[in-house]
Structure 1
Amino acid sequence: MALPTACALIAVLALPGGPAQADDAAPRVDLRVLVVTDGGPAVDAIAAELDTAGTPYTEVDLQQPGRPVIDAAFLADTVEGRPRAKYQAVVLPNDNPFSTGSPEMAALATYERTYGIPQVDAYTYARPEVGLQYAVGSGYAGSLDGVEAQVTTVGRAGPFGYLDGAVPFEDNSPSVGESYAYLSQPAAGADFTSYVDAQIPGRATRGSLVGEYRHDGRRELVVTFVYNRYQQQFRLLARGIVEWMTGGVHLGASRNYFAVHVDDVLAADDRWDSTLNCTPGDVDCEPGEGVPNPIRMTAEDAGYAATWQSDRNFTMDFAYNAAGSVDHRQDNNGVDLLADKLIVDRNRFRWINHTYTHAFLGCEQDVSVVPWRCATLPDGTTKWVSRNEISDEIATNRVWGQVSGLPLDNTELVTGEHSGMRLLPQQPTDNPNLAPALADNGVTWLASDNSREVGQRQLGSATTVPRYPMNIFYNAGRAAEQVDEYNWIYTSRQQGGSGICEDNPATTTCLPAPLDTTTGYTDYIVPLETRIALGHVLGNDPRPHFIHQSNLAEDRIAYPVLNGVLDSHARLFADNTPVVNLRMKDIGAELSKRSVWKSAVESGDVTAYRIGDTVTVRAPATVAVTATMPAGTTRGTAAFGQPYAGKVSAWVTGTPLPLVLTLPPSAVSGTVHGGTGDAPATNETAPRARVPAGVLRQVPYSRER
């Protein structure tokens, strides 16, 4: 084994009792998870959770010809004379996905007994072989759509302690079966502890949905409901599944992130015309069609926003266009009560430069046609907005903000409509003048539209930060306007809509019927947008959401959705698992570190293992390491990491010196609890997972300015 050098980061995690020392009699256990999949959604969901958190795993696809054979040599070997377990946990599609008498299952059982390795049964049915009674008769097998399960007292004291208790199962569509589960109590004599349960229909008893079965010197986490990676019930439990299988010591980390950018602050947004089905003053209407009727926040709206933030302990990011205030003062004898109020309350918000006039910074637009097209020079080449014009938009807006005392971070920028970057179909390439202008102004974080570009990319000096568009439209200040436009977009031509949903069935779902303009916003759009945004929050996804200042004006239609997300989170999670509300540059940095970490893990540049009470992590010094440890872990005499969900976690930047972390006494683990003897592994084949018929998912139709 190569000795560590200055080019490697070495993290040593030791139990108390003096300097970190390796136990000569202890085996080495690598911090990597073995994921065995049969192509079903449950294993895919767990793998996605590991992937998002940055926890290394090896996947074996049972359906893949030529796959590795899972035998003793695949699972363990010897390194420098010490036995090595190559995986700290095993995830299987069910308790035995192999054929009867399979030597692979026997090898796994022996491996788990020998090294104390836990096994997750991603989805299996209730029966004595997994420590449960058969569901037929005393239990239940069927749909759990709309049922609210609960974390048990033991579950809250253990791996699911970050939850407040409720685990609601989704019921998004009455015509779609979204869940299937077996509810059952422990079998007679079984050493089984339920962590999550639900009421058995028609009975006074509750049945397990997630529980630990200890037998045969082994530990299994038995999950008896099917799920996919997007469903709320899985997203709520995913963290606990990982913490159970790793004992709370693993690479990678997870948070519940939520950030909201409000674009066009100080400007006015054009209003949707319900008769013309377009937005007068914007490019979706024919030139000269209709009369613009702009929407602009008032001082009262600004005051409401500040108070709402204080009440919710949440901060919005205001992306501002200073020309909106300058023009308003010119038209109103120097008066702009909105700007005055926002400047007084400037430190209650975060601020982002959104350019001075919200100009389109890509190609020069020819709006004589609908849809618009890029203007061209006489030789047929694209006519681009110049470097100086782009720089003026950035710099002039910045100066106004500095004079007004806004707490800006000049490395952040949101261009109008995310312009300057490629935009299909009209502008398939970036404006070549954008990158130089960004560098001229010290911009290193540039907002992009996640509905157009999912990942980060480099654009000159700047790295993009993808933002989720909320389906709360920029051109709607009132709920009825929002619903009318929503109906136009999401209904068929036969129903009076645009037919966009018919033309793009792969990305847009048609409504079965137009929504009622009086009740449709509250009854349909708000719950749907809340569910979509909450899904991002529960998915360890830091990317921000963006709305517009018009949505904080008039009917203030954004707040029901924002309240829905925050209220749902507060109801579901314990106080030790708060919403993490980052500003744009910190979100960009988080995404960038994840990308570098993922590449290092996939290329084999990261190794991590435990020997006795010591865990060692090696990575290149240029790679920040992400790790989650038990609360109370220390780095020298200082606490390690930041507390979250009952654990501590952090990014550790490269250093030529060893990093020594000491685990608290409560973290001493590794022995198998309960169950003795040498009973053979069960060879009964578990059923193929029953997959939900589908989950209603609405892909946002980006309506931005």
Structure 2
Amino acid sequence: MKRTIRTTALLVGTLMATIGLPAATARADDPAPRVDLRVLVVSDGGPSTEAIAAELENAGTPYTEVDLADTGRDVIDPGFLADTVDGRPRAKYQAVVLPNDNPFPTGSAEMAALVAYEQKYSIPQVDAYTYARPQVGLNAAVGTGYAGSVDGVRAEVTQAGRAGPFGYLEGAVPFEDNSPTVGESYAYLSTPVAGADFVPYVQAAIPGRPTMGSLVGEYRHDGRRELVVTFVYNRYQQQYRLLARGIVEWMTGGVHLGADRNYFAVHVDDVFAADDRWDSALNCTPGDVDCQPGEGTPNPIRMVPADVDHATTWQNSREFTLDFAYNASGTVDHREDNGGQDSLADKLVAERDQFRWINHTYTHGFLGCVQNTAVVPWTCARNADGSTRWVSRNEIADEIATNEAWGESAGLPLQSSELVTGEHSGLKVTPQQPEDNPNLGPALADTGIEWLGSDNSRDPVQRKVGTATTVSRYPMNVFYNAGRAAEQVDEYNWIYTARAQGGSGICEDNPATSTCLAAPLDTATGYTEHIVPLETRIALTHVLTNDPKPHFIHQSNLAEDRIAYPVLDGVLGAYDALYTDDTPVVNLRMKDIGVEMQRRALWRAALDADQVTAYRIGDRVTVRTPVGVALTATMPTGTQHDGTGFGAAYAGSLSGWASADGLPYTLDLPASAGAPAAAVEPGGTPAPTSAAPRTDVPAGVEQQVPYGAER
């Protein structure tokens, strides 16, 4: 999606958008220009321009990056910015992102070219992070405002911001403060210069003063529009994640390739079965492979009917659906041991339509190599010739088919194309099994599996396995072998503390582990005070980054103390407090997540190969894509294709996928989709403003302050 320019070339692989032609530059006989929906990102290597580029990349919005530190880069001149195609003037970029309001030396011809280009084609400019000063419509922060840390500050979207590009937010923009010892954000808070056409969109209180200072605002001057951002950020920080969508919508006028939604799905594994329990004395899990054979007494955790009632009540209150990955042998074996009775299974089957169901194999057996569990850690068993001994194709197929047959007989609303194997087994797992079981792919073909769950912590990239395509899942750090909060904390302490503190020493062996503890947590309070907020923030980060991958927990976490719910409530509660009702969490089932990821991969490949062409002239957008590649775009409400509405409503816009079938795909925009007229009509090309002064970037922005590992 990114193109780094080294030679001036025709811009192919873009959706082109006319942002509007200023009246002062247009004549009645001039053809309307076409303006490419490619964004020009001029980077100085700082975190803020990198963050905007990452947002464009992730959404599937084409952009060209010019690295100012690259001595071989192209010069930004009139020919670089615009040309003529088929007798029609073409602006090659619909928006310009600069590190600040002017990253070039004073009097720069490149800045002069950008100014003239923005005036002529009404191209908006984003100042990714700039100093508050009169050149951007703000009073200097020193003396009348504030320059300093804004860690932990609660900023607010203004009324103009809610009516404009940030209308998807409820109002609050909380700034992170993950470490009391590391600066994580820095801002220049100031008020607009008297008489300047400056509209604050996001602001915060100026310390020690009764006034608010702008953090994000629009400045109109000399026939140009600038989005002036006066705080620094990186791509991961929550404050930026909240505002990223609005920054892109502002710069593109709401007409662009790509889409950004907030996704959250939660898979609950091992339903009907029981999960082994952590032993706080042995620091392992009797009955599982981390304990020495025969060590300890298994004490399994299994849901009861009241836990099902709680799950359905919770779902209804949150308007959220859980995905239950089930192992039918869990109830078959339970009935055999209990005179044919299983009140949990009876309750789950009676409430089956409340949940989505996924085949998790019949016995939850390990489907990779045959495990040698006589040693800890386990190893792969070997044949006489030294080769790996694999679970057979027939055994794998039987695990899949038997579980599906039981689910169908119980009336579970299944998707037969979905599968999650026990422990994601069959897929590679290091260090013991560095390759997939070669029998897995054929068994998936035998049973019609198209979507196969994988563990994102070890297999994050979507790939083909036989007939199936993987769907990576984020493991939540709510342990499968804990039904009680105290058990969770005890195991957490053992994993993440030093050997001298009675821990495993994993953090001593791998200092990069970001969930390490300086001291053990209190088993009575550590779950609520430390683990829940931490896991909430980690999961919420995934939700806010346009990431459809599901998370997974286990049925044990819905039983006993029901320790999963505080984390899930934390994620959904925090989300609801931040976003408006027209920007809901998108809760997809596994196959739909797989399709989304697959479409994105095809779209990205087509963009990178310059196989997509699109443009806007007036109120019509025309797009061409290769056969078999669906296009993704975001358009204003009221946009139509052949008289039918495009996409689906989300965050005040329309977005979605559409098939062009290799032919031109046209979109008719509503009349309101034109960009606002410039506040001041240009009177020739003014001299570019002076180079922007150096801004402060704290250590916690240059290198993210972790609050937990990416999972």
TM range (shorter): over 0.9
Residue 681 of structure 1: aligned partner: 688
Query: Out of 570, 576, 588, which is 2:582 matched to?
Result: 576
Query: Out of 336, 345, 364, which is 2:342 matched to?
Result: 336
CA contact 1:350–1:583 (8 Å) conserved in 2: yes
SS of structure 2 residue aligned to 1:225: coil
Letter in 1 for 2:72: G
Q: Shift of residue 503 of structure 1?
A: 1.0
CA contact 1:197–1:209 (8 Å) conserved in 2: yes
CA distance in 2, matches of 1:564, 1:160: 23
Residues 492-538 of structure 1: per-residue CA shift (max 9 Å, x gap): 11222111112112344421111111111101110111011111111
Letter in 2 for 1:459: V
Q: Shift of residue 346 of structure 1?
A: 0.2
CA contact 1:12–1:661 (8 Å) conserved in 2: no
CA distance in 2, matches of 1:600, 1:660: 19
Residue 121 of structure 1: aligned partner: 127
SS of structure 2 residue aligned to 1:575: coil
CA distance in 2, matches of 1:634, 1:9: 22
Q: Shift of residue 686 of structure 1?
A: 3.1
Does residue 697 (structure 1) correspond to residue 706 (structure 2)? The answer is yes
CA distance in 1, matches of 2:560, 2:271: 14
Residue 101 of structure 2: aligned partner: 95
CA contact 1:172–1:695 (8 Å) conserved in 2: no
Q: Shift of residue 222 of structure 1?
A: 0.4
Does residue 663 (structure 1) correspond to residue 673 (structure 2)? The answer is no
SS of structure 2 residue aligned to 1:396: helix
Query: Out of 129, 149, 166, which is 1:160 matched to?
Result: 166
Q: Shift of residue 26 of structure 1?
A: 1.4
Does residue 355 (structure 1) correspond to residue 346 (structure 2)? The answer is no
Question: CA distance change for structure 1 residues 509 and 344 in 2, over 3 Å: closer, same or farther?
Answer: closer
CA contact 2:219–2:225 (8 Å) conserved in 1: yes
Residues 122-147 of structure 1: per-residue CA shift (max 9 Å, x gap): 00111101110011111111111111
Query: Out of 192, 203, 226, which is 1:220 matched to?
Result: 226
Q: Shift of residue 670 of structure 1?
A: 5.9
Query: Out of 54, 63, 69, which is 1:57 matched to?
Result: 63
Counterpart mapping for 1:502-651 below 5 A = 502-651=508-657
Query: Out of 421, 427, 440, which is 1:415 matched to?
Result: 421
Question: CA distance change for structure 1 residues 439 and 538 in 2, over 3 Å: closer, same or farther?
Answer: same
CA distance in 2, matches of 1:94, 1:218: 15
Query: Out of 74, 90, 93, which is 1:84 matched to?
Result: 90
Q: Shift of residue 685 of structure 1?
A: 2.8
CA distance in 2, matches of 1:225, 1:125: 9
Could you tell me which runs of 5 or more consecutive residues in structure 1 were left unpaired when the two chains were aligned. 1-7, 16-21
Residues 612-641 of structure 1: per-residue CA shift (max 9 Å, x gap): 332221111211000100011122332211
Which shifted more, 611-620 or 210-219?
A: 611-620
* Higher relative contact order, chain-length normalized (CA < 8 Å, sep 6+): 1
Question: CA distance change for structure 1 residues 221 and 113 in 2, over 3 Å: closer, same or farther?
Answer: same
Letter in 1 for 2:154: E
CA contact 2:151–2:175 (8 Å) conserved in 1: yes
Question: CA distance change for structure 1 residues 10 and 50 in 2, over 3 Å: closer, same or farther?
Answer: closer
CA contact 1:10–1:659 (8 Å) conserved in 2: no
Counterpart mapping for 1:167-206 below 5 A = 167-206=173-212
Residue 435 of structure 2: aligned partner: 429
Does residue 374 (structure 1) correspond to residue 380 (structure 2)? The answer is yes
CA contact 2:538–2:709 (8 Å) conserved in 1: no
Query: Out of 472, 491, 495, which is 1:485 matched to?
Result: 491
Counterpart mapping for 1:275-314 below 5 A = 275-314=281-320
CA contact 1:12–1:660 (8 Å) conserved in 2: no
Question: CA distance change for structure 1 residues 225 and 205 in 2, over 3 Å: closer, same or farther?
Answer: same
Q: Shift of residue 82 of structure 1?
A: 1.8
CA contact 2:16–2:615 (8 Å) conserved in 1: no
Question: CA distance change for structure 1 residues 39 and 24 in 2, over 3 Å: closer, same or farther?
Answer: same
CA distance in 2, matches of 1:445, 1:697: 32
Letter in 2 for 1:149: A
Residue 72 of structure 2: aligned partner: 66
CA distance in 2, matches of 1:90, 1:605: 23
CA contact 1:70–1:104 (8 Å) conserved in 2: yes
Letter in 2 for 1:68: D
Q: Shift of residue 491 of structure 1?
A: 1.0
Question: CA distance change for structure 1 residues 183 and 298 in 2, over 3 Å: closer, same or farther?
Answer: same
CA contact 1:11–1:658 (8 Å) conserved in 2: no
Question: CA distance change for structure 1 residues 674 and 275 in 2, over 3 Å: closer, same or farther?
Answer: farther
Residue 19 of structure 1: aligned partner: none
Could you tell me which runs of 5 or more consecutive residues in structure 2 were left unpaired when the two chains were aligned. 1-11, 20-27
Letter in 1 for 2:277: R
Question: CA distance change for structure 1 residues 161 and 109 in 2, over 3 Å: closer, same or farther?
Answer: same
Residues 457-513 of structure 1: per-residue CA shift (max 9 Å, x gap): 000100000000000000010111111111111111122211111211234442111
Does residue 236 (structure 1) correspond to residue 236 (structure 2)? The answer is no
CA contact 2:15–2:613 (8 Å) conserved in 1: no
Identity %: 70
Query: Out of 453, 463, 479, which is 2:459 matched to?
Result: 453
Question: CA distance change for structure 1 residues 14 and 233 in 2, over 3 Å: closer, same or farther?
Answer: closer
CA distance in 2, matches of 1:674, 1:552: 60
SS of structure 2 residue aligned to 1:393: helix
CA contact 1:13–1:662 (8 Å) conserved in 2: no
Residues 664-701 of structure 1: per-residue CA shift (max 9 Å, x gap): 12212263234644432202233145144254425559
Q: Shift of residue 660 of structure 1?
A: 3.0
TM-score by length of 1: 0.95
Runs of at least 4 residues off by over 6 Å: 8-15
Query: Out of 266, 270, 286, which is 2:272 matched to?
Result: 266
Letter in 2 for 1:419: S
CA contact 1:216–1:680 (8 Å) conserved in 2: no
Does residue 41 (structure 1) correspond to residue 47 (structure 2)? The answer is yes
CA contact 2:31–2:89 (8 Å) conserved in 1: no
CA contact 1:191–1:675 (8 Å) conserved in 2: no
RMSD of the alignment, in Å?
1.9
